[in-house]
């Protein structure tokens, strides 16, 4: 930059010593470095454990209404094995007969859940693990299926609701046992 010769050098030097006027500081959220609230995490996990227990009991007893109530009305089922996704409402309609048959004693069904990762906050959760679904006709052998899954849940006024269930694909018995 060329300095104009008409400006005395002393004035230029004085100008450079003046403090610069900074913009007013913008309010920022305080930095958080504290560990997550362990009590809140324990509460969330206890609530989610209770949620999964309700899901299991509904499957075991063939209680379709209770099972459906654990799902968000706009929920989505993703099936990695079938390379498709659909509204959970459509999957519920497809599964309803198995619930009725379980309730009426025409078959047995059960589901158990084990988790490899559970993250979330007071109103959201992302759960990763394996579920073991077993179906058995009254006079037939049990047919267990181990499935890798992810679930995205939101907490509403009436409790936790599954918003997305991603059945990623088959799991092995060894993988299931490793999550004990």
Q: What is the mean pLDDT of residues 149-168?
A: 97
- Give the Cα separation of 43 and 91 in Å (integer): 30
Does any domain span residue 10? no
29, part of any domain? no
- Boundaries of domain holding 77: 38-178
- Across 75-89, average pLDDT: 95
* Secondary structure of residue 3 in the 3-state scheme: coil
Query: Could you tell me which residues come within 8 angstroms of residue 132 by beta carbon, excluding any fewer than 6 positions away?
Result: 110, 111, 112, 114, 144, 145, 146, 147, 176
* Contact criterion met (CB below 8 Å) for 79 and 169: no
> How many CB atoms are closer than 10 A to CB 98?
16
Q: Is 69 part of a structural domain of the chain?
A: yes
Task: Kindly indicate the confidence band of residue 36, based on its pLDDT and cuts at 50, 70 and 90.
Answer: low
Q: What is the pTM of this model?
A: 0.78
pLDDT tens digits for range 104-129: 999 999 999 999 999 999 999 999 99
pLDDT bin (cut points 50, 70, 90) of residue 35 is low
User: What CATH number is given to the structural domain containing 142?
Assistant: 3.10.450.50
Tokens (6 digits) for 94: 């497809």
Whether 4 is covered by a domain: the verdict is no
Q: What is the pLDDT of residue 1?
A: 44
The answer to the question of residue 27 being in a domain is no
Report yes or no on 25 lying in a domain: no
Look at the chain and report how many structural domains it folds into.
1
| DSSP per-residue string spanning the chain | -PPPTTS-HHHHHHHHHSPP-PPPPPP-PPP--SPP-HHHHHHHHHHHHHHHHHHHHHHHHT-HHHHHHTEEEEEEEEETTTTEEEEHHHHHHHHHHHHHHHHTTSEEEEEEEEEEEEEE-SSEEEEEEEEEEEEEETTS--EEEEEEEEEEEEEETTEEEEEEEEEEEE--HHHHHHT-
| DSSP class of 71 | E
């Amino acid at each position: 930059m060329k300095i104009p010769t008409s400006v005395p050098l002393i004035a230029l030097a004085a100008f450079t010593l003046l403090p610069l006027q900074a913009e007013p500081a913008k309010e920022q959220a305080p930095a958080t470095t504290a560990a997550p609230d362990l009590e809140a995490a324990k509460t969330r996990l206890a609530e989610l454990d209770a949620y999964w227990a309700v899901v299991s009991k509904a499957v075991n007893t063939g209680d379709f209404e209770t099972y459906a109530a654990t799902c968000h009305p706009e929920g989505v089922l993703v099936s990695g094995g079938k390379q498709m996704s659909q509204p959970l409402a459509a999957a519920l309609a497809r599964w309803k007969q198995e619930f009725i048959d379980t309730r009426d004693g025409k078959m047995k069904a059960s589901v158990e859940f084990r988790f490899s990762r559970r993250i979330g906050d007071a109103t959201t959760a992302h759960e990763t693990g394996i579920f073991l679904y077993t179906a058995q006709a009254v006079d037939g052998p049990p047919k267990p299926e181990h499935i890798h899954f992810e679930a995205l849940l939101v907490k509403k006024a009436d409790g936790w609701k599954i918003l997305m269930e991603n059945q990623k694909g088959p799991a092995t018995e060894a993988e299931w046992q490793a999550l004990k």
